[in-house]
Structure 1
Amino acid sequence: MQALVYTLIGLAAAAIGATAYFGLTFTPAESILCAIVFGCVCFVLLERTLRQRAEARLEKAIEDLSRLLATDAQAGAVLGQRINALSDINAGSRLEGVEADISVLGTVIRQVAEAVAEMEEKVTQPARGGAHAVHTSVLVPPVPEREPIISTEALRQALAQNRLIYHIQPLVSLPQRRTQAYELVPRLMLEDGDLAEAADFLPRRGAVDLVSLVEGVALVEAVTLARRARSAGKAVSFYIPLTRASLSEKASAEQVMASLEANRAIASSLIFLVPEREWTEFTTAERAIADSIAKKGARFSIDRITTLRVNVAELAAQGVQSLRIDAASFIATPEAFTDFHASDIAGYLARFEVKLVGTGISGEGQIVELIDDGITLAQGPHIAPPGPIRPDLFLEAVPQLRRVEA
């Protein structure tokens, strides 16, 4: 198109030169000069027009590019905000929650399938005695608590003579059997030098002042050991017995709170061991004291669990760190404790950061069963019996503890 315009300019310049030569009687030189001047003027005007058009297109392209860059900048800012939002999301915990829900759903489906299969089997089998067998839930029989053989007066006299001592029993992780914590076990030294177990001298009813005194001594021992472990650079937790006796009396409760307040640095190493029966019978005032203990940094572990059909989220909110269950009973009749499959209950509790502890381990077979069920914390005489407290005992391994007792 531009070549055609140049051709037309050349023809027009030639026509101007011919007109000047023939019509205006210019000389040939003047006619040629006139044609050249006309052609140059037309060429300059054409180039100026083309340059203006090119500049206009360039300005428009720059404006479009600026608009695109602004849009990209906005998109980048939105993307940055979304990336920051994603980085703040704890995807790991959400994935763990989803996995736990999937595991629970799978357990429920399996249990439904087993129940349907059991019902179909019962329907197909002939009825005995004119009635179908009725499925009944297995209940864990309560363990009878024997009465102490040492009288209250004898216990009061022994405490006055400082014959109460505390041994410690380790709680280990499976399968490595590394010591994770120690439980303080009260024992009473008799006049003949023998040691009486807690079941032989702790009152079951009444004598609240004696029980709170025994538990207060345990707290002092635990604080001393925890401070010693912290000074040695070791993170060791200690289980301390606690009952309503220490929470119902104002003086003993204040003493517990004062000890925790003075030892906030090691409060996370103190775990109060509360029997299930005591935990469920807490009054409103006692529950408030337990909540204050949890706010100080200490935790709770519920002992002698008879059922795992509990509100785990509520227990975790109240500062419960673990549930202790008799290993032999759980392995023999897991359906008596929970509606979950035995291999799923530990993972379900772990979703709320609550651990399941198998206690009373008496054989290697029980350890294998607990590992198969996902229970990674255990305690019992087969692992290590309660032993005396030595300055370096809580820093040693469990096999060394058993060798000392042997």
Structure 2
Amino acid sequence: MGHERFGRQIMPIITHILLYIAYATISGTVGIALTQVGGQDIGASFLGAIALFCACAVTHASISTTAASGRIGNAEKVIKRDMERLRVAHREVTADIDAMQTRIDQIEAAVATQSFGAPQIEAPTYQTGGPPQIESKLIEQIVDKLGAAMDARLQTIQNAGITPISPSAARGPMDLVREALLENRVELYLQPIVQLPQRKTAFYEGFTRLKDANGRLILPQEFIPAAEQAGLMSTIDNVLLFRCVQIVRKLMKQDRRVGIFCNISPSALADEQFFPQFLDFMRENRDLAGSVIFEIPQDAYENRTSIEARAMAKMVDLGFRFSIDRVTNTEIDLPDLERSGVRYVKIAAQTMVDQILHRGLRPRSAITREIAATDISAVYQRYGIDLIAERIETEDTVLEVLDLDVPFGQGHLFGTPRAIKESLMEETAPPREFYLKQSGRIA
């Protein structure tokens, strides 16, 4: 077999050499004929022979190039066809495995219900000095900052010569946020992220919501401007992020395959007081690395400082992954995302259609050939990144996303954000007395 392969490699070379020798022989014969028969001088005959040889050589090279291009094109078509077959087969096998796993889960749930009743969620156990103490320190910092903001506001009112009728006279959006944190009125909402086209839930995205004393949700647009102006947005994000991590641990007691996307602000990564303790907390919980994905906006990622980049690298070293959302420009640097530990990119479905399909924008990568719109997802996966189409509201949008071969989808069509069980929230909440003591309401 080795001799046959060697023969196949040598034969084309020998064939080309023999043909060029034949071209030279024919050209030399014509040159001699021009001298002896045509009566041309030696110089003219020599130039004629050279011209004939060059013409033969150029024709030969052109034919050889065309044949080689045809063989390469045919090979590429065969490879693409085989890849498509493998992709279809992989999807079918994945669907069968998912269906089988679902059936197994149903059987296990039925057996557990009959034998032991409804499953109970156990509270996580930590060693002394572990994560709860770390969280307590962070919450103490948050309460101090919130209290300082309140004192500053009251001092401003007093300096202006205004006497409030009652303490509630100085109430504002930040007061509602402060009270919600102190009274543990923080809820976690989960929205499913499904696998396409099966629509089987693969992940969840966690959204945190605050409530006032009457149980009304405090909308982000109500308190975010004031919080950003007071420099407290990172502290709010921090305590909510810890709550999300604790909920993940609770949910893992029921299903090890659960994965939750948790938003983290770049300012939290750069916070010299918060991040070192948060890193210790995540080091104690590094077994959650496969279940917690930290999410930051595209603009914040692309404009991150060196401090924030190093903080991300430390999280990646622990095994945690990142996701980019709020994408406004699909010309993304994929090698940079891969180096930074980004494994998911969320793009609004309409943005995908407008920029990738209609405008022809492509991510930056090492691939030099023209990339078809249907191959975009494969290019992302080449760098270990999965695409997620978000804000899917209609079935027509699903069809457009499927045409782009996007593996995951998110939107109200697949499920709206829903609050998790109240009992689960209570188990992960710090003691109310701790908040009251820190705020000075209990001596």
TM-score, normalised relative to structure 2: 0.51
Q: Which residue of 2 aligns with 1:377?
A: 408
SS of aligned partner of 1:358? strand
Q: Which residue of 1 aligns with 2:196?
A: 174
Q: Which residue of 1 aligns with 2:111?
A: none
Q: Which residue of 1 aligns with 2:419?
A: 388
**Cα RMSD (Å) of the superposition?**
2.6
Counterpart of 2:302 in structure 1: which amino acid? Answer: T
Counterpart of 1:247 in structure 2: which amino acid? Answer: L
> Which of 311, 321, 328 is the equivalent residue of 1:299?
321
Q: Which residue of 2 aligns with 1:368?
A: 399
Q: Tell me the CA shift for residue 186 of structure 1.
A: 1.5
Tell me whether 1:338 sits opposite 2:369 in the alignment: no
Tell me whether 1:184 sits opposite 2:215 in the alignment: no
Cα deviation 1:345-396 (Å, max 9, x = unaligned): 1111011110111111111111111111101211111211100113899xxx
- Map 1:78-227 → 2, pairs under 5 A: 151-203=173-225, 205-208=228-231, 210-227=232-249
Q: Tell me the CA shift for residue 233 of structure 1.
A: 4.7
Tell me the distance in 1 between the aligned counterparts of 2:360 and 2:329.
4
> Which of 250, 259, 263 is the equivalent residue of 1:237?
259
Counterpart of 1:344 in structure 2: which amino acid? Answer: D
Counterpart of 1:338 in structure 2: which amino acid? Answer: L
> Which of 269, 277, 284 is the equivalent residue of 1:247?
269
Q: Which residue of 1 aligns with 2:334?
A: 312
Q: Which residue of 2 aligns with 1:283?
A: 305
SS of aligned partner of 1:344? helix
Q: Which residue of 1 aligns with 2:344?
A: 322
| Aligned pairs, number | 247
Q: Which residue of 1 aligns with 2:295?
A: 273
Tell me the distance in 2 between the aligned counterparts of 1:166 and 1:230.
16
Instruction: Out of 271-280 and 341-350, give the one that drifted further.
Output: 341-350
> Which of 264, 269, 273 is the equivalent residue of 2:286?
264
Cα deviation 1:230-257 (Å, max 9, x = unaligned): 3335211111111122112112112320
Tell me the distance in 2 between the aligned counterparts of 1:260 and 1:337.
40
Cα deviation 1:227-286 (Å, max 9, x = unaligned): 234333521111111112211211211232012101011122111110111112211111
Contact between 1:168 and 1:389, CA under 8 Å: does it hold in 2? yes
Tell me the distance in 2 between the aligned counterparts of 1:337 and 1:167.
36
Tell me the distance in 2 between the aligned counterparts of 1:193 and 1:174.
37
> What residue ranges of structure 1 are gaps of 5+ in the alignment?
1-97, 104-149, 394-406
Tell me the distance in 2 between the aligned counterparts of 1:274 and 1:218.
15
Q: Tell me the CA shift for residue 336 of structure 1.
A: 4.8
Contact between 2:241 and 2:264, CA under 8 Å: does it hold in 1? no
Counterpart of 1:173 in structure 2: which amino acid? Answer: Q
Cα deviation 1:61-102 (Å, max 9, x = unaligned): xxxxxxxxxxxxxxxxxxxxxxxxxxxxxxxxxxxxx98xx8
Pair 1:206–1:316, CA change in 2 (3 A): farther
Tell me whether 1:359 sits opposite 2:399 in the alignment: no
Contact between 1:169 and 1:387, CA under 8 Å: does it hold in 2? yes
Instruction: Out of 342-351 and 326-335, give the one that drifted further.
Output: 326-335
> What residue ranges of structure 2 are gaps of 5+ in the alignment?
1-74, 81-171, 363-370, 425-443
Q: Tell me the CA shift for residue 217 of structure 1.
A: 3.0
TM-score, normalised relative to structure 1: 0.56
Cα deviation 1:294-327 (Å, max 9, x = unaligned): 1111110001111221221221121101111111
Tell me the distance in 2 between the aligned counterparts of 1:337 and 1:268.
34
Counterpart of 2:202 in structure 1: which amino acid? Answer: Q
Instruction: Out of 179-188 and 160-169, give the one that drifted further.
Output: 160-169
Q: Tell me the CA shift for residue 202 of structure 1.
A: 2.7
SS of aligned partner of 2:289? helix
